[in-house]
Structure 1
Amino acid sequence: MFETIELTKQGRTGYLKLNRPQAMNAMNGTMMKELAECFESLHHDTELQVLVIHGEGKAFSAGGDIKEMMDPENPMDIDSVMVDVSRLAKALYTLPQVTIAAIHGASAGLAFSIALACDHIIAEENSKLAMNFIGIGLVPDGGGHFFMKERVGSPKAQQMIWAGQILKAHDALAKGIIDEVTAEGRSMEYANAYVEQTLASPVKAKLATKHILHQLKVGELEKVLELEAAAQSAMRKSTDHLEGIQAFVEKRKPEFQGK
C-alpha cells in the first residue's frame, strides 16, 4: 500500500493517482520513492497494457514540495531524492504499457517532466503547464531536459527551460509539447476514450514499436539523469537558489546575482 499515490487496475488498464490533494499533489520525498517503486513494479505486470496518470483534487501536481525543501528541522536530502527521481524517470520511460497523462490544474516542475515522459498527454484548456525550475535557480530534473528535447528538439527545449513560462494547454499544443486539449473537467473522459481506442487496436504491436524506439534512447536518458542529478546538487547550494526559494516564500520578485 502506498501513502501518497494510489494504483487501481481495471482489466488491461491501470490508473495511477497522485494523491496529496491537500498539498496540490506536491511531490515530497515519499511520493518520489513511491512513484519509483510503482513504475518499477509495473515492469513485471504482464496483464496491464495501458496506464493513465492523473491527480486528485485541484491539480495534476504542483511539482516538488517546496515546503519540504525549506524544512529547517528535516530538510530534503537532495542527493538521496535525486536517486529516486532518476529511478522513476527511467522506469516510466521504459514501461511496457501505453502511458497517458491526464492533466487538470497545475502540472509544474518534476510533475511536468513526468507528464512529458508519457506517450500521450491530454490537458484541460485552463491547466497551467510549467517547466519552471529556473524560477528558483534550479535545473529540470526527472529527465526534463531529455523529455522536452524529445518533444521539440534541443534549441527549443533550451529556450523553453530558460524561459520557465507557465503555458496554457492550447499554447503547449501549438508548440508540440502536448497531444490533446479538452474542456475543463473532461481530461479523464478523454483519457478513457484514448484507452478504449488503444485497447481496440493491435496494442501488442504498438508496445513493440514503443520498446524499439525507447530502447534506442535509454542510454541517453541515463546520461541526462546523471548530469541532472549532479547539476541539481550543485544548484541547491547556489546563492540564486536560496534567493529564489526565499522570494517564493515571501511572494516577491527574486533578485538573482548569477552566483
Structure 2
Amino acid sequence: MYEHLKITTEGGVCTVTLNRPEVYNALNDTITYELQKALKDIGKDDAVRVVVLTGAGKAFCSGQDLKEASIDENKSFMQSLNKRYNPIIRLMKGMPKPIICKLNGVAAGAGCSLALACDIIVAAEEAVLTEVFVNIGLVLDSGSSYFLPRLVGSTKAFELSTMGSRTNGKEAYELGIVNKVVSGSDLDGAVKAYADYYANAPTKAIGLMKKMLNKSGNASLDDMLEYEAYCQEIAGNTHDYKEGVSAFMEKRKPKFSGN
C-alpha cells in the first residue's frame, strides 16, 4: 500500500515507520504525501488509540532529501512546504489521539520538526536532534520555529537554530525537549510503556486535552476557562466518563473503551 512507510496496528497502537533506511529516512515527495494519507486514515480509525512514529534503521529522519530537491532547481520552497510538509504538521497536532515519537537516531531539519510535533518523545541516548537548516543557508520550517522556543525558551532556541547544534538524547532531556531518555536497548520497552498506557486511556478525553493545550499557547485565561467548560461538557457525556465514575465507586480499575 505504501512505498516508503511501514504501518502496523496492534492492541490500539498504530506504529508508523519511515522506511527509507538507505538514505536515513530522508523525505522525498512520495513519503511526504504517503505520510499525509496515513495520518488522515489513522485519525479516522476508531481502532487506533495511540500512534508511535519512528524510523527504520539507524535514523529517525534526516530531513529533506537534498539529492532529490537538487534535481528541480525551479521548485518553490513555499509551495513545497504548503503542499508537502505543513499539512503533515497540522495533521499531527490536530489528531485527537496522542502521538509518541520513538526517537531511535538522528532527527535533522524537517525530521527534527516531525519529532517536535509529537506529543511524547522517548529518545535513545545516542539519538540526535539538530536544526541543520542554517548549514545550507535556510531557515527553520515545518513548525520548528513554533515548537522549539516553547520547549526551551527563545534564547536557547536561537542558539540551537542559528548554530545548527547537535543535541543528544541526554541533553535533550535536560533541556525539556524529550520526555524520557533511555539506552538504545531499552527504547522499545520505554515506548511500549507509554503506548500501552494511552491504548487503555480515555481516548476522547486525551484528544480534548491535546486540543486544549495546543490552544492555550495563544489564548487568554478567560478564553481557556470558556474552552475548558466546552470540552468538559463533551467529556462528561462520554462512555469513558461513566465507566471512570463507576470504577471509582466500585473501587476497581476502570476499563476505558476510548468512547
Query: Using the alignment, how far apart are the partners of 1:45 and 1:55 within structure 2?
Result: 22
Query: Using the alignment, how far apart are the partners of 1:164 and 1:112 within structure 2?
Result: 11
Query: So what's the TM-score if we normalise by structure 2?
Result: 0.77
1:109-120 alignment to 2 at 5 Å? 109-120=109-120
Which residue number corresponds to residue 81 of structure 1?
Answer: 80
Which residue number corresponds to residue 90 of structure 2?
Answer: 90
Whether the 8 Å contact between 1:68 and 1:75 is mirrored in structure 2 is no
Which residue number corresponds to residue 102 of structure 2?
Answer: 102
Which residue number corresponds to residue 228 of structure 2?
Answer: none
Sort the Cα spacing of 1:218 and 1:8 in 2 relative to 1 into closer, same or farther, 3 A.
Answer: farther
Sort the Cα spacing of 1:159 and 1:11 in 2 relative to 1 into closer, same or farther, 3 A.
Answer: same
Query: Using the alignment, how far apart are the partners of 1:134 and 1:198 within structure 2?
Result: 37
- Structure 1 counterpart of 2:14, one-letter code: G
- What stretches of structure 1 of length at least 5 have no aligned partner? 220-259
Instruction: Describe the superposition over 1:7-37 as per-residue Cα deviations: whole angstroms up to 9, x where unpaired.
Output: 2211311100000111110111211122122
Q: SS of 1:8's equivalent?
A: strand
Instruction: Describe the superposition over 1:39-70 as per-residue Cα deviations: whole angstroms up to 9, x where unpaired.
Output: 22323222211000011111111111111122
Is 1:204 matched up with 2:169?
Answer: no
- Structure 1 counterpart of 2:106, one-letter code: A
Instruction: Describe the superposition over 1:70-129 as per-residue Cα deviations: whole angstroms up to 9, x where unpaired.
Output: 226x77553432122110111111111111000112111111101101111011101121
Which residue number corresponds to residue 235 of structure 1?
Answer: none
Which residue number corresponds to residue 193 of structure 1?
Answer: 193
Which residue number corresponds to residue 122 of structure 1?
Answer: 122
Query: Using the alignment, how far apart are the partners of 2:43 and 2:216 within structure 1?
Result: 18
Which residue number corresponds to residue 152 of structure 2?
Answer: 152
Q: Which has the larger radius of gyration?
A: 2
Query: Using the alignment, how far apart are the partners of 1:216 and 1:171 within structure 2?
Result: 27
Identity %: 30
Query: Using the alignment, how far apart are the partners of 1:189 and 1:56 within structure 2?
Result: 17
Query: Using the alignment, how far apart are the partners of 2:200 and 2:38 within structure 1?
Result: 26
Instruction: Describe the superposition over 1:213-253 as per-residue Cα deviations: whole angstroms up to 9, x where unpaired.
Output: 2245699xxxxxxxxxxxxxxxxxxxxxxxxxxxxxxxxxx
Query: Using the alignment, how far apart are the partners of 1:169 and 1:130 within structure 2?
Result: 11
Whether the 8 Å contact between 1:107 and 1:130 is mirrored in structure 2 is yes
User: Displacement, 1:183?
Assistant: 0.5
- Structure 2 counterpart of 1:53, one-letter code: L
Query: Using the alignment, how far apart are the partners of 1:5 and 1:94 within structure 2?
Result: 21
Query: Using the alignment, how far apart are the partners of 1:30 and 1:215 within structure 2?
Result: 31
Whether the 8 Å contact between 1:37 and 1:88 is mirrored in structure 2 is no
Query: Using the alignment, how far apart are the partners of 1:215 and 1:13 within structure 2?
Result: 26
- What stretches of structure 2 of length at least 5 have no aligned partner? 220-259
Whether the 8 Å contact between 1:40 and 1:91 is mirrored in structure 2 is yes
Is 1:140 matched up with 2:140?
Answer: yes
Q: SS of 1:122's equivalent?
A: strand
Which residue number corresponds to residue 20 of structure 2?
Answer: 20
Query: Using the alignment, how far apart are the partners of 1:173 and 1:57 within structure 2?
Result: 23
Whether the 8 Å contact between 1:102 and 1:122 is mirrored in structure 2 is yes
User: Displacement, 1:173?
Assistant: 0.8
Query: Using the alignment, how far apart are the partners of 1:30 and 1:40 within structure 2?
Result: 16
Q: SS of 2:198's equivalent?
A: helix
Is 1:168 matched up with 2:156?
Answer: no
Query: Using the alignment, how far apart are the partners of 2:188 and 2:62 within structure 1?
Result: 19
Whether the 8 Å contact between 1:51 and 1:99 is mirrored in structure 2 is yes
User: Displacement, 1:155?
Assistant: 3.2
Query: So what's the TM-score if we normalise by structure 1?
Result: 0.77
1:60-71 alignment to 2 at 5 Å? 60-71=60-71
